[in-house]
Amino acid sequence: MSSIALVGNPNTGKTSLFNTLTSSYEYVGNWAGVTVEKKIGSLKNGAGKLIDLPGIYSLHPLSRDEGVATQYLIEESPEALINIVDASQLERNLLLTLQLLEYGKPTVLGLNMIDVAKARGIAVNHEVLQSRLGITVLPLIARTGKGSGQVLSVLEKASTIPQVTFRLDYGELTEEAIASIVTELKSIPGLPNLRWVALQLMEQNPVVLELLKKRMDISRLMVICDGCQNALQSSKQALTLPQWIRSVRMDYIRSLCAAAMDTTLLKPHNLTERLDSILTHRFLGLPLFIFFMYAMFKTTFDWVGGPLSDLVDGLISGPISTGASSLLHTVGASEFTHALIVDGIIGGVGGVIVFVPQIFILFLMISFLEDSGYMARVCLLMDSTMERMGLNGKAFIPFIIGFGCNVPAIMAARSIEQPKDRMLTTLLMPLMSCSARLPVYLLFAAVFFPAQQATAVLAMYVLGVVFALILCKLFSKHLFKNESSVFIIELPPYRMPQLKTLGRSTWEKGKGFLRKAGTIILAGSVIIWLMSYAGPSGLNVEMDHSFLAKFGGLIAPLLHPLGFGTWQAGSTLVPGFLAKEVVVSTMNIIYHAPDAAGLEGQISQVFTPLSSVSFMAFILLYIPCLATVGVIRKETASWKWTFFSMGYSLVLAYLVSLVIFQGGSLLGLS
């Protein structure tokens, strides 16, 4: 079996091609069109494994994503490479191509998006590219799958892809230095192409430097590099060695593009220009964005999602519940089994399944924003606000994904270049109301603020964002001193997202929720139900004398100042740490509610409008769920930061709920 790596700049369609070339794949962590780690799949024709690496601009890593790709090339020598380039952005894309050719592995160049290039009036002659670079060049339209058949047949026998003969001449001075570095490296076993290593060293690629430091004393190599740099300076060719290498490459790329590309018919991005003049307008841009967000929430909760959820609720509390009940009756199930299935499982899991339509609609709209190209503009609009708070606008995409689920959002933060910005984004992510907290808001909003449901729910989201911004300012001032943030973002042309892709990415995001419903929430519901069914005096006890009541009663005094010092509220918090979805299913079980209306009736008795707001704020802030804690630990690689994120949120939740309830009481609210 051979392994073939897929390499290219971000947004060039690597993942689209990956999906058409492979039949099955091992899921390593791909979210919303962003490959955050390498993804491995087996080729459709059984010729080997295909590895989808994160998009990179060059082999010199800046963000963690890029580090993954460079590390891969150094440590796990693949048999061949497929380099995907965007035909409409050829000049920029070829910089990586040259570095890959120097790497020396057999390479196939996939010239993607020839349709996009054509529409813009750019004609690329792939035969010229092929003869100049000395590798196979295949024109592609990865989005529709056109040309992928040829790629497959070329890959059929990876061993027959010809060796790369490409070699760029860096001039006498540099070539001498390369030759002496190569001589020094010859004694070190297990290195990839020595000329490539020498060039990467001269470019000061940190991953390569690190690797060499582990195996040898690099001081002699550095002397060679310094000598070469001094010679370049005194002959007035360049200021630094990396600059010189880059400029030689750029000159070559320009001459190559001049020969292979015809841009005489080049047209501007008309649609993009027109849309941008409105959507990123200096005065209209932000209000429009806020309006879109409002419309998004309104659609999710009022216009489409709400009615759909009611439909599902009717189905579960009606036919499914009574059906199961009569079925159990017929087979003569014991009272225990009957209660377990109807109250524990259907009541608990069903209470959460009700929210599936709303969650999928939210994910669908987030996917639409991502695929259309608007999300990048949002980062642009938000940057000045975020900068004042000590972060950069790029953190906004992870934050928006965080509204779906915090776990992938924290992983998406890897695309941020600066370590400080990445850390801040990770630490603050739990303040974004993920879809698991949504059921709680929806439930309470429906009971206490029926006329302004969308506004009430939106207010909770805004509350989280406001605290994220305040804490961001605080943390960046006191925890990360003297580190300013940088901001640069590419703005892709606007595109109408394809239905197929939208469906796929919505499903990828939403299935996590369904999977949780089937595992954690199911297990949680059963355990909670058991605790409510059993008590110190035996089985089938009064709820007030159950283990659950005893347990919740222990926490209740602490929660009293917050306005919800009941054992019922207390006992929802601990399972809520496992997964916030369990909060609502716990309530379903505790209040023994047959359906949503019943639960709403119970809640209106126990909570007041003021204490419901206090409770929602507490649920929003109190602690990241177990899965999020796990990913924070993984991404920060530090227990200190992990405990910090749990600790600060718990303190914040208590303080905020206290202020809401006590302050509200003083103002005479109830």
550 binds other proteins, rule: CB under 8 A: no
Query: For residue 217, what are the CA distances in angstroms to 241, 348, 614?
Result: 21, 62, 61
60 binds other proteins, rule: CB under 8 A: yes
Specify the amino acid at residue 311. L
Residue with smaller CB distance to other proteins, 116 or 457: 116
385 binds other proteins, rule: CB under 8 A: yes
Residue with smaller CB distance to other proteins, 268 or 538: 268
Q: Give the contact letters, 265-294, x = binds to other proteins (CB under 8 A), - = no.
A: -x--x--x---xx--xxxx-xx--------
Cα–Cα dist 11/27, whole Å: 20
Residue with smaller CB distance to other proteins, 266 or 597: 266
Helices (H), 160-218: 172-185, 194-202, 206-215
246 binds other proteins, rule: CB under 8 A: yes
- Give the side-chain half-sphere CA count within 13 A for 295: 9
481 binds other proteins, rule: CB under 8 A: no
Residue with smaller CB distance to other proteins, 357 or 492: 492
483 binds other proteins, rule: CB under 8 A: no
Query: For residue 464, what are the CA distances in angstroms to 41, 361, 403, 414, 656?
Result: 38, 21, 10, 22, 11
Residue with smaller CB distance to other proteins, 35 or 586: 35
Helices (H), 519-638: 520-533, 547-559, 567-578, 581-590, 596-606, 609-621, 626-636
**Sign, CA torsion 208/213/217/222:** positive
| Known binding residues for Mg(2+) | 19-20, 22
12 binds other proteins, rule: CB under 8 A: no
Please report how close the Cβ of residue 658 comes to other proteins at its closest, in angstroms: 34
492 binds other proteins, rule: CB under 8 A: yes
**Contact residue for other proteins among 57, 449, 507, 644 (CB under 8 A):** 57
What's the per-residue H, E or C state across 233-301?
Answer: HHCCCCCCHHHHHHHHHHHHHHHHHHHHEECCCCCCCHHHHHHHHHHCCCCCHHHHHHHHHHHHHHHHH
Residue with smaller CB distance to other proteins, 66 or 343: 66
Applying CB under 8 A, the span of 46-54, 159-167, 385-393, 445-453 interacting with other proteins comes to 385-393
Please report how close the Cβ of residue 423 comes to other proteins at its closest, in angstroms: 15
10 Å Cβ neighbour count for 659?
Answer: 13
Please count the residues of this chain forming the interface with other proteins, following the rule CB under 8 A. 41
Give the SS3 label for residue 403: coil
Please report how close the Cβ of residue 438 comes to other proteins at its closest, in angstroms: 30
393 binds other proteins, rule: CB under 8 A: yes
126 binds other proteins, rule: CB under 8 A: no
Residue with smaller CB distance to other proteins, 282 or 640: 282
CB 494 within 8 A of CB 374: yes
Element (H, E) at 3: strand 2-8
Alpha-carbon Rg of the chain, whole angstroms? 29
Interface residue list for other proteins (CB under 8 A): 57-58, 60, 62, 88-89, 91-92, 95, 120, 246, 250, 266, 269, 272, 276-277, 280-283, 285-286, 380-381, 383-385, 387, 393, 417-418, 484, 486-493
